Amino acid sequence: MDSEKTIYKNLQKHLNNQPVGFPATHSGIEIRLLKHFFTPEEAQLALCLNYKPTPMEQIYEKIDESRMSLSDMEKILDGMLKKGSVGHMERDGVRYFFTMPLVVGMYEGHLERLTPEFLRDFEKYTSHKTWGLDFLSTEVSQMRTIPIEKSISIEHHIATYDQLTHLINESDAIVINECICRKTAAMKGNPCQKTSRVETCMALGDIAKNCIRIGIGREISKEEALDIARQNEADGLILQPSNSQKAEFICACCGCCCGMLSVYNLLPRPHEFWTTNYHASVDSEICTGCKTCIERCQVHAIRMNEELGVATIDIDRCIGCGICVSTCPSEALTLIKKDNPVVPPEDSETLYETIMNNKKGKLEKIKHALRLLRK
């Protein structure tokens, strides 16, 4: 039997070979973080998984069958699922399990188990440059921004995968959860400045079914989901689903709490990292310079042209969320569809396969990061 230290080190290396890596640091904080997600026994079993959903029976074939029965292995996998440490789906009665990235994945799955110690280790690891380099260097982003529907003119065609209503109506299960970013911020004494509501982020499809299975969140109807979405829009929260046509979650993000937007706001040219098909535009002839849009914008993409007394859009920062458009008193703002819209991968499996197939080496990651950080 391998030593505990060896088991966790092997798991770190294994997770680092998945689409979104889990790189080592000089301090070894990544090992301490892994211990929040996996016991030594669970870590050993996780080495038999990868990012591709694998039937439980095939996982069992990879282990020493003398160590445990199939039912015992299933209990361990379910324990890992309950902690958010692994992913799960079920098709025609067959259960599949797979590894998940730290973000988006294991961290969010830890929603019901947040402790000061966990948050300390998580923040220390994710603020390390090696993790940031890995996270920022994926060829395809894990999340994307879709416009709030009130911001799109009826004469403009909007693809179904960019429509909130379509994403909700197509889901066979919906669960509303507390926003982990706002929950974390509140635990640190920094409550959200945009909304006092805690139930803002939705799980759809397989992730929703997992939430129901393990007792996280609250199952809701499509009608309630749309009502919550309208409240999110009114509060000025940005809609960010998973970057696939069949969305598995829809986050409602703010600039003061959201981890993703915090990363975004640190970058000088963040549009190169983000996935969006729209950007805002101002009609300077009818803009009154009221600054409502500047107050609404979560990504510092709107400034005043003091000489002309009108708002201007920084295209390098705008993510096309539309929260400025829907509340412009003079209707001077519109959303413009980009010339070359991005079609997201079909589903989450295709998304991570695409990320894996385009995974960069260390030198390429550095070059990519430098491109994102250039002024």
Reported as a single tens digit per residue, the pLDDT across 184-236 is: 999 999 999 999 999 999 999 999 999 999 999 999 999 999 999 999 999 99
372 inside domain: no
Distance CA 224, CA 221 (A): 5
pLDDT of residue 374: 67
Q: Is 137 exposed, middle or buried (0-12, 13-18, 19+ CB in 10 A)?
A: buried
Return the minimum-mean-pLDDT range out of 41-45, 66-70, 226-230, 303-307.
66-70
pTM of model > 0.85: yes
Report the CATH number that the domain containing residue 299 is assigned in CATH: 3.30.70.20
- 222 part of a folded domain: no
With respect to residue 187, please indicate whether it lies within any of the assigned structural domains: no
Report yes or no on 79 lying in a domain: yes
Q: What is the percentage of the chain residues whose pLDDT exceeds 90? A: 81
Beta strands in the chain (DSSP E): 54-55, 86-91, 94-99, 174-178, 199-204, 218-219, 238-241, 249-253, 278-282, 302-305, 310-313, 333-337
Give the rounded distance of the alpha carbon of 318 from its chain centre: 18
Mean pLDDT of 105-116: 96
- Non-local (6+) Cβ contacts of 180 within 8 A are 107, 108, 110, 111, 114, 201
**Gap between the Cα atoms of 360 and 367, Å rounded:** 10
Give CA 237 to chain center in angstroms.
15
Distance CA 61, CA 59 (A): 5
* Domain that includes residue 90, residue range: 4-114
Closest CA to 298 of 168, 145, 132, 178: 145
Among candidates 59, 68, 70, 61, which has minimal Cα distance to 96?
Answer: 59
CATH number of the domain enclosing 35: 1.10.10.10
The gap from C-alpha 102 to its chain's centroid, in whole angstroms, comes to: 10
**63 is written with which tokens?**
């282990």
Question: Is residue 308 one of the residues assigned to a domain?
Answer: yes
- Give 38's pLDDT tier (boundaries 50, 70, 90): very high
Q: What is the pLDDT of residues 92-109, one digit of tens each?
A: 999 999 999 999 999 999
pLDDT classification of 1: cutoffs 50, 70, 90: low
DSSP letters, 292-305, are HHHHH-SSS-EEEE
From 51, 82, 114, give the residue that closes a domain: 114
157-161, 237-241, 244-248, 341-345: segment of lowest average pLDDT: 157-161
pLDDT at 260: 86
* Boundary residue ending a domain (114, 131, 153): 114
Residue keyed to tokens 């919906």: 174
In-domain check, residue 137: no
Rounded to whole angstroms, the Cα distance separating 250 from 171 reads: 11
Tokens of 356: 């894996």
- The total number of structural domains in the chain stands at 2
Residue 231 within a domain: no
Q: Is the pLDDT of residue 133 over 90?
A: no
User: Comparing C-alpha atoms, which of 36, 32, 31 is closest to residue 11?
Assistant: 31
Cβ-contact 3, 43 below 8 angstroms: no
Instruction: Kindly write down the DSSP assignment for every residue of 164-217, as one continuous string.
Output: HHHHHHT-S-EEEEE-HHHHHHHHTT---SS-S-SEEEEEEHHHHHHHHHHT-S
| 103 located within any domain | yes
- Paired residues of 242 in beta bridges: 143
pLDDT in tens, 250-295: 999 999 999 888 888 888 777 777 899 999 999 999 999 999 999 9
CA 113, CA 178: separation in Å to the nearest integer? 13
Please identify, among 114, 133, 152, the residue that sits at the C-terminal boundary of a domain.
114
Best CA proximity match to 315, nearest among 267, 279, 262, 342: 279
